[in-house]
Copies of this chain bind each other. A is one copy, B any other.
């Protein structure tokens, strides 16, 4: 994710950023310019007296209205996924903090405390890459046995939660924690599966295929036929107008697509790497702090 100061207008407008749609779409914009040039040439040469174009503008306004509403709907759903993904990662931060604090305050063995001190950051690093191309075990702090087990695991975050439950159950059997104390920790332990499950859902479920298809067909059909309505008025200036309208409409679709899956490494994706480091630092601090008794 790019950090930026939303108030610096001039810088924004002049910069051609990597995530700028102008940069992403320059080829398409060029194709569109060429297509319009050809259409304009044909019409000016062969249909010099066409009069119906102006009425066509009214139809394009009407249909353009539907298209705009659809694109805003698309923008909204894309943004909502992005924001829900962010919320889930926020919950991950909160959850790890609470879990670390609770384990640290509890009467479990020191061995178990240091186990959680490793595992709480481990699970966040695992979730982060699980939502990309697969967990990078090198990022995790593991014993040789754990490493061996996870190498064969098909769902590493789930296996880690499994390990945490097992560990606490053993502490319970030994009598270090009671059933009720287990229950207090359970509210946080079970949240992990809810969080990475929700992120998997966001990642694996784009907008229904038919909508994606319909919107793309609609935009292309709309923009490629639009010159018909302009040419008699604008002549070769139509090219600029069409390219501008195309830029606006396609940008919205492209931006919505880009933020729909927010867990990757694009400019607009969530700062999950950074959040993992923050969680690790918080977790370390919690386990190493002794709050004064008086």
Contact = CB atoms under 8 A, between A and B. Distances in A.
A60 to B, nearest CB: 7
A153 B291 CA distance: 11
A190 interface: yes
B102 A214 contact: no
Nearest to A192: B98
A49 to B, nearest CB: 14
A90 interface: yes
B286 A162 contact: yes
Interface stretch (A38-46, A123-131, A165-173): A165-173
A102 B216 contact: no
Nearest to A250: B9
B97 A193 contact: yes
B184 A184 contact: no
A118 interface: no
Contacts of A169: 105-107
A280 B285 CA distance: 27
Contacts of A17: 209-210, 213
A200 B54 contact: no
A134 interface: no
Contacts of A170: 293
A245 B218 CA distance: 11
Interface in A209-227: 209-214, 216-218, 220-221
A258 B155 CA distance: 33
A175 to B, nearest CB: 13
A187 interface: yes
Contacts of A162: 101, 104-105, 286, 289, 291
Interface of A: 1-2, 4, 6-7, 9, 12-13, 15, 17, 19-22, 28, 51-52, 54-66, 68-73, 75-77, 79, 82-83, 86-87, 90-91, 93-94, 97-98, 101-102, 104-107, 111, 143, 145-146, 149, 153-155, 158-159, 161-163, 165-170, 173, 178-184, 186-188, 190, 193-194, 197-198, 200-201, 205-214, 216-218, 220-221, 230, 233-234, 237, 241, 244-245, 248-249, 251-252, 255, 257-260, 267-268, 270, 281-282, 285-286, 289-294
24 contacts: A6-B257, A7-B257, A9-B28, A52-B237, A62-B245, A68-B69, A70-B72, A70-B252, A72-B73, A73-B76, A87-B201, A91-B194, A93-B197, A94-B198, A101-B161, A104-B166, A105-B166, A153-B289, A159-B289, A181-B182, A209-B268, A210-B258, A211-B259, A214-B251
